[in-house]
Each structure stands twice: as structure tokens, then as C-alpha cells.
């Protein structure tokens, strides 16, 4: 029988630590369960699941065209990301979602085309997450590892825009998002997470989707407070705030609708 490890909270449990820096997972999981129980008490009967709206034929064609363009460069980009993950002892997660689905992309194009005078092709070209990757980074080497990868991107001719959401008051999201523009013009999204920030991202996904579309300010505040309660528990990885300049530090604020 394997020995039980004792985490830094003094709790004896199996797989107690969520990160290599031994940040205790017990508190995070317990708080998550408490928030779930509170949520069930205040929620009414579950809403009837609505089918996804159908995208226009023009948006479907624009989505197919832009995906064909991205598919040409995706294998080489994925190979590069895999090489970087291996070199820096990271893990690439969610690779099956590295290309956005055609239906989802078409619906997003329809929702964004109003910002481009109704032009679906311009809306399609503006999409920044058609091709996306997520790195899970060891927290003890977070800053140095991420900066090394960003330097490599620059050396390969990529343009970068960094959004650092690791500040303690950043809002309900923790992580570092980088918008890349490849030499051939493709826009690629790269996220750098720790195991614990990925866990919380998954745990708050449903609340975030409801928050994003809700027009009820009281409900939005309730959802916001639930999400931020969990995000505050995420340990700050070493060197996270050193990635990017002052202009890269971003905070998400609760704005009324």
C-alpha cells in the first residue's frame, strides 16, 4: 500500500497537491463543493435546453473558407507547439480542440458581422481563436518557461499581444493569453495555465457562459462572486507577473448591462 502524503495544510490525503509547488488541493475542492451546494439552493428548475441557432449560409461558407486556410498551416504549428512543450517540460492540453468547429465558427461570424457592416468575410478574417493551443506549465518555472517560449515565437517572425490575468484582483479568470499573428497571416491563440488554473477554468465554465449572456444584473453579480471566489484560491505561479510589460497586465471588471 502506498504511503499517504501530507500536504502543507497538514492534511493527510492521496494526491493532495494540485501543483508541483505543493499547493494544497483540499481547500480548492472543498470550496468548490460548497459553492455548488449553495448554487443548487438558489437555482430554480433547470431551464429547457435550447438548440443552437442556425448560422446563415453566407457565414457557413465564410467559416469553411477560413478553416481551409488555417488547416494548411495547422500541422506545422501543432508540431512546433509539441516541440516547445517537450523542451520546456510542459503539457499541451485540449489538442482535439486546436481548430474551432465549423458550426461554432459560423455562428460566431454571424454574431460578429454587425461590427463589419454585415460583411461575413471580414468578420471571419477577424477571428483570433480559429487555431488555439493551451500549455499547462509547472508553476515553479512558470515565468522563465513562458518567456523563453515567447522569445522563440518572436525569433520565428510571429507578432505577439500578451494579456496577463495573474494579478490578484484580475477578476474571475487566471492565466496568460497570447494572440499570435503568424508570418502567413494566421491568428493563433495560445494560453498558458497551471494545473490549478485549468481546474478552476473548467469548474467555472458554465457560470461564465451564463454570465456572458445574462441581462439580469443581480444574477450576473451572483455568478461573478461565485467565479471570483474560486479564482482567488489559485496559487500564483513563480514569475507570472514578470511576463509582458505593465500594459500587458489585464483586469476583468464587473460591468452592469
Per-domain boundaries in the chain = 55-87+101-125, 137-250
β-partners of residue 190 are 133, 178
Q: Which three cell numbers stand for residue 110?
A: 454571424
CA dihedral 104, 176, 195, 157 (to 10 degrees): 80
Q: Which bin fits 118, alpha (ψ -120 to 50), beta or left (φ > 0)? A: left
Give the integer Cα–Cα distance in Å for 88 and 145.
6
In the predicted structure, residue 15 carries a pLDDT above the cut 90: no
In the predicted structure, residue 7 carries a pLDDT above the cut 70: no
For the stretch 120-155, pLDDT in tens is: 999 999 999 999 999 999 999 999 999 999 999 999
In the predicted structure, residue 187 carries a pLDDT above the cut 80: yes
Question: In this structure, how many other beta carbons lie within 10 angstroms of the beta carbon of residue 49?
Answer: 5
Stretch 178-182: mean pLDDT: 97
Q: Which three cell numbers stand for residue 135?
A: 500549455
pTM score, two decimals?
0.79
Q: Which three cell numbers stand for residue 10?
A: 497538514
Q: Say how many Å lie between the first and final Cα of the chain, rounded.
A: 55
Give the integer Cα–Cα distance in Å for 219 and 222.
5
In this structure, are residues 234 and 196 in contact, taking their beta carbons and an 8 Å threshold?
Answer: yes
Beta-carbon-side half-sphere exposure of residue 8 (alpha carbons within 13 Å): 10
Q: How far is CA 114 from CA 13, 62, 74, 109, 122, in A?
A: 53, 15, 29, 9, 10
Q: Are strands 5-6 and 12-13 parallel, antiparallel or unpaired?
A: antiparallel
Amino acid at each position: 500500500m502506498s504511503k499517504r502524503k501530507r500536504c502543507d495544510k497538514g492534511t493527510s490525503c492521496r494526491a493532495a497537491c494540485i501543483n508541483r509547488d505543493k499547493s494544497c488541493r483540499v481547500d480548492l475542492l472543498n470550496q468548490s463543493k460548497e459553492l455548488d451546494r449553495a448554487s443548487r439552493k438558489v437555482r430554480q428548475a433547470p431551464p429547457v435546453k435550447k438548440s443552437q441557432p442556425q448560422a446563415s449560409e453566407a457565414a457557413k461558407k465564410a467559416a469553411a473558407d477560413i478553416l481551409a486556410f488555417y488547416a494548411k498551416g495547422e500541422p506545422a504549428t501543432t508540431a512546433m507547439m509539441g516541440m516547445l512543450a517537450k523542451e520546456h517540460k510542459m503539457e499541451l492540453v485540449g489538442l482535439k480542440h486546436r481548430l474551432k468547429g465549423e458550426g461554432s465558427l459560423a455562428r460566431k461570424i454571424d454574431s460578429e458581422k454587425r461590427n463589419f457592416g454585415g460583411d461575413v468575410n471580414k468578420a471571419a478574417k477577424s477571428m483570433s481563436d480559429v487555431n488555439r493551443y493551451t500549455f499547462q506549465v509547472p508553476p515553479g518555472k512558470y515565468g522563465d518557461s513562458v518567456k523563453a517560449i515567447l522569445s522563440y515565437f518572436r525569433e520565428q517572425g510571429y507578432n505577439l499581444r500578451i494579456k496577463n490575468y495573474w494579478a490578484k484582483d484580475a477578476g474571475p479568470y487566471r492565466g496568460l493569453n497570447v494572440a499570435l499573428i503568424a508570418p502567413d497571416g494566421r491568428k493563433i491563440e495560445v494560453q498558458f495555465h497551471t494545473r490549478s488554473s485549468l481546474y478552476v477554468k473548467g469548474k467555472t465554465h458554465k457560470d461564465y457562459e451564463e454570465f456572458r449572456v445574462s441581462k439580469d444584473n443581480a444574477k450576473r453579480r451572483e455568478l461573478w462572486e461565485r467565479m471570483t471566489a474560486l479564482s482567488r484560491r489559485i496559487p500564483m505561479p513563480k514569475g507570472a507577473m514578470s511576463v509582458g510589460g505593465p500594459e500587458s497586465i489585464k483586469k476583468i471588471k464587473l460591468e452592469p448591462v
